[in-house]
Structure 1
C-alpha cells in the first residue's frame, strides 16, 4: 500500500531547517521565523504539567471531591493557556505594522510610526532572566522623541532569547527578514 506522506522524493529541507516561514499575503500577521527550541521545550513542559493536572482532575472526580477536581481543572486550563501564549510570543509582521507579543503584553506599531529597524551589539537578557550577556539585538526606533533622541523600544529579538539561543544564523536571517519588511513597508 503506497504511503504518500513517506515519499522519498519530497524535499523536507525547509521544514527541518531554520529557514524563515514563507509569506505570500502581506495582510495577515506572520512570524518571519520559527519558534526556537527553548520556547518549544518550555511549552512542552507546561503541557506535560497540564496533563498531570487533568489526570488528577479525573482521579478527584472518581474519588468524589468536586472542589479538588475543579481546582485541578482550573490549574490545568491555566497551564494550557500559558503554553499556548508562550508559543505565540515573538515578533509578528504584516502590511499594517510590527507586533511584539509577550506573555503578558502585546505592542503594535504601524509602519508609519517606525523610523528605523536595525541590529545593534549590546547587553541582552539571557532567556528573559535578569542576567545579561553580550549579544545582538534587533531594535525599533519610533518617530517619537524623548530627551532629544528618537525613542528606542525594548529589543524585538536578541541572540539570547528563547528563539535564538545557540542559533546565530537563525537570528541573522530573522533580523534581515524583519529589516526587509520595515524597508519595504515604511
Structure 2
C-alpha cells in the first residue's frame, strides 16, 4: 500500500541535504523539520487518555448524569487540544520571520530584528526539565541594544531531537539558511 506522506518526507530530506529552501510559497509558516518521536509519543498517549475519557463520558451520559458527562467531555476536549498544541510546538519559519511556538506562548521575531542564528556548544536542558547536559543548541541573536535572555530555538536534547543528532544538524542548517537568506534581503 503506497504511503504518499513518506515520499514527501524523503523529498524534503533530499532538499534539506542540499540546503535549499524546498518551498514555493515562502510566506506560509513552516516547520523545517518533523516532530520527534518523544513529542509524537507523548501526544499519542494524551490522545489515548482522551479516548478513554470520551468513552467514560458516553457511559456516564447513558447512566443519566448529564452534568458529570459534560465535565468528562470538557476534560477530553482539553486533552485533545493539549495534544494538538504539543504537536504544534517548535520553530517555524517564513519570509516574515522566525516563530517559536511553545505550549502556552508563541513569539515571533521578524528577520529585520535577527542579527544571527548559529549553532553553539553549551549546557542544554534535557527534555525541558531543570537537569542540564552538554549538547548543541541553535541560538537566536537579536539586534537589540540590551541583551535579552533568549532561550535556544532547538537543542540536541529536546523532545524533537533526543537521540537524533543528524536530524538536529539538518534542522539547524535549514533554519540558518532561512536566516541568512532573509536577513540579507
Distance 1:56 1:114 in 2: 49
Contact 2:121 2:135 (8 Å CA) reproduced: yes
Structure number with higher helix proportion: 2
**Secondary structure, counterpart of 1:145 in structure 2:** coil
**Secondary structure, counterpart of 2:145 in structure 1:** strand
**Secondary structure, counterpart of 1:144 in structure 2:** coil
**Secondary structure, counterpart of 1:38 in structure 2:** helix
Using the TM superposition, name which of 164-173 and 20-29 deviates more: 20-29
Cα RMSD for the two superposed structures: 2.2
Q: Does 1:155 align with 2:152?
A: yes
Distance 1:76 1:69 in 2: 10
Q: Which has the higher contact order (CA 8 A, sep 6+)?
A: 2
Distance 1:17 1:154 in 2: 31
Aligned residue pairs: how many? 177
Q: Cα deviation per residue 1:52-71 (whole Å; 9 max; x = unaligned)? A: 00000000000001111011
Contact 1:18 1:170 (8 Å CA) reproduced: no
- Structure 1: tracts of 5 or more residues without a match: none
Contact 2:12 2:22 (8 Å CA) reproduced: no
- Structure 2: tracts of 5 or more residues without a match: none
Distance 1:173 1:154 in 2: 20
